[in-house]
């Protein structure tokens, strides 16, 4: 992998799996809930099918297949956030190194996540990262279509005042990578988690990396 030819005007981070390590806990809980509701699914299938997506889109897919869960997934998820994540979330290793490099280079950043703002405040707050991102959080609830559609990344770029082609997205999911590419942005796809879909990320058009310590170099900051 070669560093890009220019430094971006804006770096847009996904949240879960990029800033905070929540994917294992989230998918363990989701797998248990769906299976108990009569929709048996393995942890691995949850990771492959649902990582990076909103609970609304997960429920829509399940119901389109003809299965009724018997509860509203988004409502249950967000009412249980504190119980699920309060003591079970950590910062992705070395993400503070990336933030420090961006600050030193004078490159602005923001977060664009499928999660609601309440969840981002909870997980980023639990890890101490909220101080870097408090005022630059964008949620899929702010747009009509979530990932893999480009709407959220385009919304974030517009609100931050930067042209899409001058933005870089940092993702870890296939839908998120697809969304960034569809928005006309360069995408660096993190696969530091052993359950990451490396082949899917590459097929979606992301530049793969597995250690946050190399990201400043990939962004042309060093």
- In CATH terms, the superfamily for domain 10-22+90-218 is HAD superfamily/HAD-like (3.40.50.1000)
pTM: 0.83
Name the residue among 113, 150, 100, 96 with its Cα closest to residue 23. Answer: 113
Q: Which tokens is 78 given?
A: 């967000």
Residue 189, number of CB atoms within 10 A of its CB: 28
Bridging pattern class, strands 186-190 and 207-209:
parallel
Q: Give the angle subtended at the CA of 136 by the CAs of 123 and 195, to the nearest 5°.
A: 45
To the nearest 10°, the Cα dihedral for 202, 219, 166, 125? 90
Q: Going by C-beta distance under 8 Å and a sequence separation of 6 or more, which residues neighbour residue 134?
A: none
Give 172-216 pLDDT, tens digit per residue. 999 999 999 999 999 999 999 888 889 999 999 999 999 999 999
pLDDT at position 133: 98
Cβ(187)–Cβ(168) under 8 Å?
Answer: yes
From CA 211, how far away is CA 10, in angstroms rounded? 20
Assess if CATH 1.10.3470 describes domain 23-85. no
pLDDT at position 89: 92
Q: Where are the domains of the chain?
A: 10-22+90-218, 23-85
Cβ(152)–Cβ(171) under 8 Å?
Answer: no
pLDDT at position 120: 95
pLDDT at position 215: 98
Q: Chunked in runs of 10, what are the mean pLDDT values of the chain (222 residues)?
A: 70 97 89 94 90 87 92 90 86 98 98 94 95 98 96 99 98 96 99 89 98 97 84
Q: Going by C-beta distance under 8 Å and a sequence separation of 6 or more, which residues neighbour residue 7?
A: 105, 107, 219, 220, 221
**Phi, psi angle pair for 16, to nearest 5°:** -70, 125
pLDDT at position 1: 42
Q: Going by C-beta distance under 8 Å and a sequence separation of 6 or more, which residues neighbour residue 124?
A: 15, 19, 20, 130, 133
Judged by DSSP in three states, 46 sits in helix
């Amino acid at each position: 992998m070669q560093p890009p030819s220019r430094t971006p005007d804006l770096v847009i981070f996904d949240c879960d799996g990029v800033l905070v390590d929540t994917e294992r806990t989230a998918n363990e809980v989701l797998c248990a809930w769906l299976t108990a509701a009569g929709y048996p699914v393995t942890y691995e299938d949850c990771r492959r099918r649902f990582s990076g997506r909103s609970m609304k889109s997960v429920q829509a897919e399940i119901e389109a297949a003809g299965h009724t869960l018997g509860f509203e997934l988004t409502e249950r998820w967000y009412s249980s956030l504190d119980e699920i994540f309060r003591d079970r979330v950590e910062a992705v290793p070395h993400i503070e190194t990336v933030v420090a490099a961006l600050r030193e280079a004078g490159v602005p950043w923001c977060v664009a996540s499928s999660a609601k703002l309440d969840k981002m405040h909870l997980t980023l707050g639990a890890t101490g990262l909220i101080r870097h991102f408090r005022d630059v959080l964008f949620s899929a609830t702010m747009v009509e279509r979530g990932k893999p559609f480009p709407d959220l990344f385009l919304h974030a770029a517009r609100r931050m005042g930067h042209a899409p082609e001058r933005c870089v997205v940092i993702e870890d999911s296939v839908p998120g990578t697809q969304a960034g590419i569809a928005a006309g942005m360069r995408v660096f796809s993190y696969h530091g988690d052993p359950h990451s879909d490396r082949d899917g990320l590459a097929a979606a058009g992301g530049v793969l990396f597995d250690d946050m310590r190399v990201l400043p170099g990939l962004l042309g900051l060093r």
